[in-house]
Copies of this chain bind each other. A is one copy, B any other.
Amino acid sequence: MSVRLAITTFVFSCSLLVFGSAAAQNIVLILSDDQGWTGSSVQMDSRVPASVSDLYLTPNLERLAAEGMRFSNAYAPAPNCSPTRMSIQTGKTAARLGATDIIDVVPNDQGAAGLPGFFANFYVNKPLLVPLPISDIPDEEVTIAEFLKQHDPDFATGHFGKWHMGGGSPDRHGYDAHHGITTNSPGMMGMPDPKRTAEVTDDGLAFIEEQAAAQRPFLAQFSYYAVHTPVLAMPETIDRFRQMDSRGHTNTFYAAMTEELDAGVGRILDRLDDLGIADDTYVIFTSDNGGEIGGGVTNNSPLAKGKTHVWEGGIRVPLFVRGPGIAAGSESHVPAIGYDFFATIADWVGATIPLPDNQDGGSLHEVLTNGGFGTVERGTEALIWYYGAYRNGKHVAPQAAMRKDNYKLVWELDSQRTYLFDLDGDLRETNDLSRFSPEIADAMHNELKSYLEGVGTKIPTINPDYDPSQDPGLLSVTGVN
């Protein structure tokens, strides 16, 4: 498969005319794939010694943290790929968008990519009747790119790497330069650039150089295929990690893949320096969900569970933000979530046009410029997660969660069980407080249900015809399935 680099609708002369030599306000949004909270060599919470990998080496993320702010309580909007990406692009929860699973589960005959196994295993003959997710980012949703162009028609917008939001083409959603409607498949292409980290970086940097030369403000999104499976890295990188002694993280291949991802980040930071635009550029680095814990890939310890779970291991992710007014080496314990980036970026560029309707997120600007303290005024006060799918091999059934202050409620829709955790006192989510504080649990559960109903989430209902013996998602030893 060839990766297409489409650069369209640039109007260089106009751009030069408008901005002259004035400093532009640029945004670099780097998204890693499946990188957990402890998936780097940056300790994500200064109070939690275990919040760092004992194997992975990410000197460039260390640099980014040292030059900006790290968020100890940062979240992906969803525990998996497409929903998080759509949420970041729109400032809305995955639930509000109907992005309840990756787009690929929607069958071909309904117009989507259609990974056959996912639909057959996780949507047919399941205990609950599970509505399908949307298969495309809707045209009517305003993306960060579209908003920036509304704010300033000369804003250059590029998206490089994994898209995984369908929707025809990224340029239909505001992106001038892009790699097309890529999913996971380009990230498994073999040597010498096994996760295409170099290519994503090259193309994104070429885009940045063009805008810098033109002194045109830009949004450059680097959406890396790493560190999603398959676990691939260059042999020489793997060989370095083979000699390491670690006990918490032990997958040297994954460590190598992580280091190669980090090298891409380093090239971006270096190029911003070389171009003399580092001081005019905000850099966000985060991940689309927690680490994959199946098959020995990694673990998110001390957090519970991983990718596709709304438990902390599936949604708490690294977040570093660097830019004008953000203190170097600072740390914030204020909860932040990917759907806050929209309003934050709007603040950064000084947008005077209103945000799109129904924003769930809020701007992190106050927290970022106030040493990590302050509040985030969100469209929806609580943080909300909804993942409406089965993944039997990962012990996942439809689930939702809400965080308010230090409390988190987890709602398993299949078993109709709820859990209440105090994340300050019980980071690992081991101690269900719903029995001790039923008033808090009930209030949060009701608020969560009200929110989901309010945004039109199609809550799964019991499947009266469910036949466990014919459930293809189960691992049977009897040969029935």
A-to-B contact residues, CB < 8 Å = 45, 47-48, 72, 127, 231, 242-243, 245-254, 294-297, 299, 301-302, 304, 392-393, 395, 414-415, 417, 422-433, 435-436, 462, 466, 468-469, 471, 473-481
A431:B392 contact, CB within 8 angstroms: yes
A-B contact pairs, 28 of them (CB 8 A): A127-B435, A127-B436, A242-B252, A246-B296, A247-B253, A248-B295, A249-B296, A250-B250, A250-B251, A250-B253, A296-B299, A302-B393, A304-B395, A393-B428, A414-B432, A415-B417, A417-B417, A424-B477, A424-B478, A425-B468, A425-B471, A425-B480, A427-B477, A428-B474, A428-B475, A430-B473, A433-B468, A435-B462
A297 → chain B, closest Cβ, in Å?
8
Q: A250-B296, A424-B476, A426-B474 are in contact. Are A466 and B392 (CB under 8 A)?
A: no
In Å, the complex CA distance between A469 and B246 comes to 32
B395:A477 contact, CB within 8 angstroms: no
A196 → chain B, closest Cβ, in Å?
20
Contact among B47, B245, B417, B435 for A477, CB-based, below 8 A: B47
In Å, the complex CA distance between A428 and B302 comes to 23
Copies of this chain, whole number: 2
Contact among B425, B474, B477 for A45, CB-based, below 8 A: B477
Q: With a CB–CB cut-off of 8 A, which chain B residues contact A417?
A: 415, 417
Kindly report which residue of chain B lies nearest to residue A417, judged by CB atoms: B417
- In the A-B complex, list the 10 residue pairs whose CB atoms are closest, starting with the nearest: A250-B251, A392-B430, A424-B478, A426-B474, A242-B242, A250-B296, A427-B475, A250-B250, A425-B476, A248-B296
Mostly, the A contact residues are: loop
Kindly report which residue of chain B lies nearest to residue A72, judged by CB atoms: B477
A419 → chain B, closest Cβ, in Å?
8
In Å, the complex CA distance between A251 and B298 comes to 11
B250:A425 contact, CB within 8 angstroms: no
A468:B422 contact, CB within 8 angstroms: yes
Contact among B247, B294, B476 for A301, CB-based, below 8 A: B294
Kindly report which residue of chain B lies nearest to residue A229, judged by CB atoms: B247
Q: With a CB–CB cut-off of 8 A, which chain B residues contact A299?
A: 296
A142 → chain B, closest Cβ, in Å?
36
Q: With a CB–CB cut-off of 8 A, which chain B residues contact A301?
A: 294-296
Q: With a CB–CB cut-off of 8 A, which chain B residues contact A247?
A: 231, 253, 295-297
Q: With a CB–CB cut-off of 8 A, which chain B residues contact A294?
A: 301
Q: With a CB–CB cut-off of 8 A, which chain B residues contact A248?
A: 295-296
A476:B427 contact, CB within 8 angstroms: yes
B296:A476 contact, CB within 8 angstroms: no
Given A250-B252, A415-B432, A427-B475, 4 other A-B residues pairs in contact with their CB atoms under 8 A: A304-B395, A392-B431, A425-B476, A436-B468
Kindly report which residue of chain B lies nearest to residue A462, judged by CB atoms: B435
B395:A430 contact, CB within 8 angstroms: yes
Contact among B249, B415, B478, B480 for A435, CB-based, below 8 A: B415
B436:A48 contact, CB within 8 angstroms: no
In Å, the complex CA distance between A245 and B296 comes to 12
Q: A395-B304, A436-B468, A468-B431 are in contact. Are A47 and B479 (CB under 8 A)?
A: yes
